[in-house]
Every structure is written in C-alpha cells, then in structure tokens.
Amino acid sequence: MYTQAMDTAPKEERAAIRNADEVVAEQAFEAALDNEGFIEAKDWMPDHYRKTLVRQISQHAHSEIVGMLPEGNWITRAPTLKRKAILLAKVQDEAGHGLYLYAAGETLGTSRDQMLDALHTGKAKYSSIFNYPTLTWADVGVVGWLVDGAAIMNQIPLCRCSYAPYARAMVRVCREESFHQRQGYDALLTMMQKGTDAQRAMVQDATDRWWWPSLMMFGPPDDQSPNTAQSMRWGIKRITNDQLRQKFVNAAVEQAKILGVTLPDPDLKWNEARGEYDFGAIDWSEFWQVVNGDGPCNKERLAERVDAWNDGEWVREAALAHARRTAARAEKQAA
Amino acid sequence: MTASRTDLANARAQAHEWPLWEVFVRPKAGLDHKHCGSLHAADSKMALQLAREVYTRRQEGVSVWIVRSDQIVASDPADKAMLFDPMEDKVYRHPTFYELPPEVGHM
C-alpha cells in the first residue's frame, strides 16, 4: 500500500551529468545496484534517486501516522480490556513505524518539519486506504485482517530496498507488524464463532466495505504504473502491483472461508489453468477520487493531523525552552 | 551532501526542531550496544525516555545509549578506498595465511 507514492506522483527526471567526478560516482552507484548492494546515506546518489526516495519514505511515514486515526477512535470503545490493550499496542506500533521512517527520510537531507509541513499543506499524500471510515468494532478487525495483510505483503519486499536506512527501518517494521494482521483476524474469528447473529452481520458488512479499497492499496494496474521499471531497478519495488494484488487475493479467499464470510465479488473464482483466483474489475475511478482528495474522510483525517500538530506546539516549545535553560544553568555552575 | 546538511541545520534552527539523537541498544548482558536508529528529543533525559518507547517495546534491550547526532565524527565515504583498501593485501594478518604441518594440530 505504501508504495502508492511511486504510482501516483510524476516521475523525477534524471539530471544531466555535469562533470567527470559525477560520472565515476554514478558508475559506483549503478554497480552497487547491479550487485543488489546497498546505498548508504552519505554515499553519492543521483538527485532523482534522492528525491524519489524522500517522497516514497516520507509518504510511507505519513501513512503510518495517519493510519493511527481510524483505529485510535476505537481504543476507548474496545469491547474488552484485552482488546483494548492489544489495540493500544498496535496503534503505538504504528506511531513507532512512522518515527523509524521519518528518521530514514531525514538521512536524505530533508528535515522532519519539512516532511510534516508537506503532509499538513496537502502537498504529500498518504495511503488512500486511511480515508475510509471505521464504522463498527468489526472494522477494527477487518483493518487488521485485510489492510494490515495487504500492507505486510507490500512491505516485505522493501526490506531489500537499495537504500539501506529505509531497508533497515522496514526490517524492524515487518518484524513488529506480523502481530497486527493476526490480532485482527483473531478478533473477527471471536465474533464469527462466539458472537451473535448481529455481530456476524457486522463482520460481513465490514468485509464488504473494506474488500475493494484493500485491493486498491496495491496501486494502479501494471500497465498504468509508468514508474515501475525505475522503482524495480532501485529496489524500491520488487514485485509489481498486479502480482502482489493477485497474491493477496489468493491468500484472502482461503482466510475468508475459514472465517465464514463471503467476499463481495461475484466474479471471484478459482482458475484451474492459472492456478490462481480470478477476480472482478476494480473501480479505479474511486481510487483516483480518494487519492485526489475526495474520499469519505480525507478532510477529517488531515484536519485531525493539523490540529494535533498545532495543539502540540506549546509542548514542543516548552520542552526546548526547558532544555536550553537547564543547559545554560549547568554551564554557569561549571564556570 | 555538505550543502544539504547545512541546509538541513538551517531548516532545523528555523523550525525549532528538537535536536536529533542516535540510539544504541544492548540486547542483553554480554553483547555490545548496537546502533538501532535515531529520534528527536529536547534533551538527554527525554531522549532516553523516548528511546525506550520507540526502540524497546518488545524487550529488545537491557541498556540504552543516546548521543547527539551532531556530536558524531564519521569517516567520509569518499575516503573509503584510501582508508580501507590498503588492508586488502595484508593477508598475513589472518591465521589462515600460515600453513603449518598437520602434526601441530590446533594452534
């Protein structure tokens, strides 16, 4: 999901090589890519690689942070203390993942405030999926099952991204994220197996609403993803959107059966020849509508982020003032 | 790179960003502290607290070091060849360079 930035933004053009030193540096850079090696923060890299990565990593970070909002609403409304503790841990993880990623983005020479400013002014995007509402408790389970499931599938290849600080952050993210999908599915299983008819209907309703947006998380079809070749070369993407989407559908169909819900797609059926599930056409006009700002919750999500940032300003200032005063006092005593 | 780091420092100063700290965690007694990431904090006390929250949520460590990022002195990647390549032809620094009679056994 989090590689959406690669597909929905214009391609950064390669700058003309200016001098002999750069030619040598670029050869070393290309050789590292040829050998599936890593580029470290202070290694030479072409500008369009740097810019593309800043965009990709910062928008990935924004997705983690904005992604806290739909679930955060349910922390105080979780049905049991156990579910509340689990959800709290998960949402805290998302905050942590955002921080790892912002830190990785900063190694490319863009400050945290610059990245946040791009989010708050609407210049930077985040994953389209977080612009859908979480209407019932079953939504929290389905977000874990489908949304985190899709995210994990998308993020695992990023652990081998050519930009080392990003790859290292992704190793940590993926290790922590594996419980996120399981806890969601577990919550849904409880509702399906031990719940009332009304609760089972709630799970089905949430599945119906989240299924198609989850498939859109993988980004536009391959023939409409002009940046794919470059992203593959740079190891920002290792598997195409359509391949990942197919893999996700294959896994989800079996999971839905065990859960006892139906997926809202009459065209979903096993294709013996392909050895995979066929599925219906995705409404890409909905995807672009949400990406371009007209999803069900775009305004609400962004407004909530901006409010949180503005409300926290006095805390940030006070902490800095306290640190400066303490440092000044220590200096005076030492003198 | 130098230019962008200066730009970054300027941007930080203007934006009142909290300073950046590097975090090192010792996974368990007997092992080295290992770099695991960075974070922003107003002072060292807050940096330690946040390092605990951000990097040890699953008992990843028993000890944390934090250091201001601008206090770290690092080698320049451009000097990589000059600094490290001379060791390439000094194979006699490795025990496998020496072929001893098998009767000597483990040495």
Residue A277 token pair: 């599930």
Residue A136 token pair: 């019932």
**Total beta-carbon pairs less than 8 A apart between chain A and chain B:** 68
pLDDT of res. A4: 73
- Whether residues A169 and B58 touch (CB distance < 8 A) is answered with no
Three-state secondary structure readout of chain B: CHHHHHHHHHHHHHHCCCCEEEEEEECCCCCCCEEEEEEECCCHHHHHHHHHHHHCCCCCCCEEEEEEHHHCCCCCHHHHHHHHHHHHHCHHHCHHHCCCCHHHCCC
pLDDT of res. A170: 95
Q: Which amino acid is at A248?
A: F
Residue A214 touches chain B, beta carbons under 8 Å: no
pLDDT of res. B5: 55
Place of tokens 């690092």: B74
**Nearest chain B alpha carbon to A98:** B54
pLDDT of res. B6: 55
In this predicted structure, the answer to whether residue B7 has a pLDDT above a threshold of 70 is no
B45-67, pLDDT tens digit by residue?
A: 999 999 999 999 999 999 999 99
In this predicted structure, the answer to whether residue B2 has a pLDDT above a threshold of 50 is no
Q: Which residues of A touch B39 (CB under 8 A)?
A: 99, 103
Q: Which residues of B touch A178 (CB under 8 A)?
A: none
Tell me the C-alpha distance between B47 and B67, whole Å: 9
Give the residue from A107, A113, A117 with the most B CB atoms within 10 Å of its CB, the best one to mutate. A113
Q: Which residues of A touch B37 (CB under 8 A)?
A: 100, 103, 168-169, 172
The closest CB to that of A103, out of B15, B37, B46, belongs to B37
pLDDT of res. B11: 55
B25-43, pLDDT tens digit by residue?
A: 999 999 999 999 999 999 9
- Whether residues B43 and A92 touch (CB distance < 8 A) is answered with no
Question: Residue B1: which pLDDT band, with cuts at 50, 70 and 90?
Answer: very low
pLDDT of res. B78: 84
**Nearest chain B alpha carbon to A103:** B38
Which residue ranges in chain A fall short of pLDDT 50?
Answer: 1
Question: Residue B9: which pLDDT band, with cuts at 50, 70 and 90?
Answer: low
Q: Which residues of A touch B51 (CB under 8 A)?
A: none
Sign of the C-alpha dihedral, residues B80, B82, B83, B86?
A: positive
Q: Which residues of B touch A322 (CB under 8 A)?
A: 42-43
- Whether residues A176 and B8 touch (CB distance < 8 A) is answered with no
Instruction: Give which of A177, A200, A325 is closest to A259, Cα–Cα.
Output: A200
